[in-house]
Chains A and B, each alone.
Chain A
Amino acid sequence: MALNLESADDSRIIDRVLDGDTNAFNLLVWQWEKPIYNYIYRMVGNRDDALDLCQESFLKAYRELGNLKDRDRFSSWLYRIAHNVCYSRFRKDQGKTFVELDPNVGASRMPIENRLAVEKALSQLPDDQKEVVVLKVYQGLRFDEIAAVQDAPVSTVKSRLYMSFDKLKSVLGEQVIDRGKANR
């Protein structure tokens, strides 16, 4: 059972920021920097770029906080800002070759070759499908929240997920999937 403490806290903190307590915004950053950073990192595949884009996202969120209509949907709103920042970067970097994700990141029980295979398979997905996988599997957003981030109907989000899972299954192959399962 998930304890819904964060959204209540977010709403209170937003009140304080809008009342002029600019330092309180750092509490929001503290609560959300890791999920937002991980979302961006998995989208762009580079730690330095992810940090830059994460900072840019929070700066935009700070400047636009007064325009947030529903404070209980702060997280979706923040992901939407990060989404716009990422896609803006994609448009700018169109045609460039990207460096692979860092294989030495974090500790995992998964063998390194499997991790690399999964990361490579993820990076080969189209951006909109990869984003659905990242937001659903890693960030745990509901389908309606992902739909708000992508500004698309829920049915589109779901079909993107099915398509991406089919591709991942064929790219990864049974061997990697079974080995990953065995290492859990």
Chain B
Amino acid sequence: MSHLEDQLAEFVFEDLTGPEMEAARQHVAQCLECQGRVAGFRKVQHSLEQLPDVDVPRRMVFLPSETRAKTNWAPLRWAIPSAIAVALVLAVVLGGPLRFERLDSGFVIGLGPVSEPTQTAELQAVLAEVSVSPTIDYASLDYAQIVDRIREEEEGWLRAEIDQAVLKLEVAGNQEIQRLRAELQYFSELQRSARRVAYENASSIQLLAAQTGRE
């Protein structure tokens, strides 16, 4: 066999196959030049190996809320608004001017001329009731009733706010419980996995000891 040349590193790190390793060993045993190169290489290797591994400062735990690669919808996010805009432009071009009307039942966008306002009997009655009379008698107004009414409305609003806040707290509480459950499950898995590896390692050691007759 010729000198180790570019097999030097594989020889030192024992990356060669069995027969290659044996041939290299035999060559090095009788070649002073390769012995010197191997020795020099190993000195650097041993110096480097003196640096210890460091511990991870804190354990990383991934929570289930993280999601794996999903379909990327980003390019489509403008599709719906763009389609609406195109439809509106087409409608204006093909159907005439746009009209915007506020009716009892809501807000209407349509094409063509604005329709004449119509008043239903119910609307007329409401308008008659709420219309302000120039000869209003402020002395006869029941201020206590007005205050009660405002208070009722405020209390109703406050109750709705409190209900919403309670609901939010319940949801947050559930998420925290879920997170703690996930952590608990993770540590249980960790414990089981460590036991299994320890058991498998012990079995392998026993097997190796039995094979080498040093049991």
Contact = CB atoms under 8 A, between A and B. Distances in A.
Interface of A: 1, 3, 5, 9, 22-27, 29-30, 33-34, 37-38, 41, 47, 51, 54-55, 58-59, 62-67, 105-110, 114-115, 118-119, 122, 133, 136-138, 142-143, 155, 158-159, 161-162, 165, 168-169, 172, 176-178, 180-181, 183-184
B41 interface: yes
A66 B58 CA distance: 27
B46 A181 contact: yes
B105 interface: no
Given A58-B62, A66-B68, A27 B193 contact: yes
A171 B182 CA distance: 50
Nearest to A164: B44
A59 B10 CA distance: 34
A32 to B, nearest CB: 10
21 contacts: A9-B193, A23-B64, A26-B189, A29-B61, A33-B60, A38-B53, A51-B56, A51-B57, A62-B66, A108-B51, A122-B48, A133-B48, A136-B9, A143-B9, A155-B6, A159-B6, A162-B8, A169-B44, A172-B47, A177-B46, A181-B43
B208 interface: yes
Given A62-B62, A165-B41, A177-B44, A110 B57 contact: no
B165 to A, nearest CB: 30
Contact of A59 (B44, B45, B66, B208): B66
A110 B15 CA distance: 27
Contacts of B204: 3
B50 A183 contact: yes
Interface of B: 6, 8-10, 13, 15, 40-41, 43-62, 64, 66-69, 182, 185-186, 189-190, 193, 197, 200-201, 204, 208
A54 B56 contact: yes
Nearest to A136: B13
Nearest to A65: B68
A93 to B, nearest CB: 21
The dominant DSSP class at the A interface is helix
A180 B15 contact: no
A115 B51 CA distance: 6
Given A26-B189, A143-B15, A180-B47, A169 B40 contact: yes
Contacts of A51: 56-58
B47 A176 contact: yes
A79 to B, nearest CB: 16
B16 to A, nearest CB: 11
B50 A118 contact: yes
A54 B60 CA distance: 9
Contacts of B197: 5, 9
A3 B196 CA distance: 14
Nearest to B196: A9
B50 A22 contact: no
Given A23-B186, A109-B50, 15 more contacts: A3-B200, A3-B201, A3-B204, A51-B58, A54-B56, A62-B66, A63-B66, A106-B54, A118-B48, A118-B50, A122-B48, A138-B51, A162-B8, A180-B46, A184-B46
B41 A64 contact: no
A51 B110 CA distance: 60
Contacts of A34: 53, 55-56
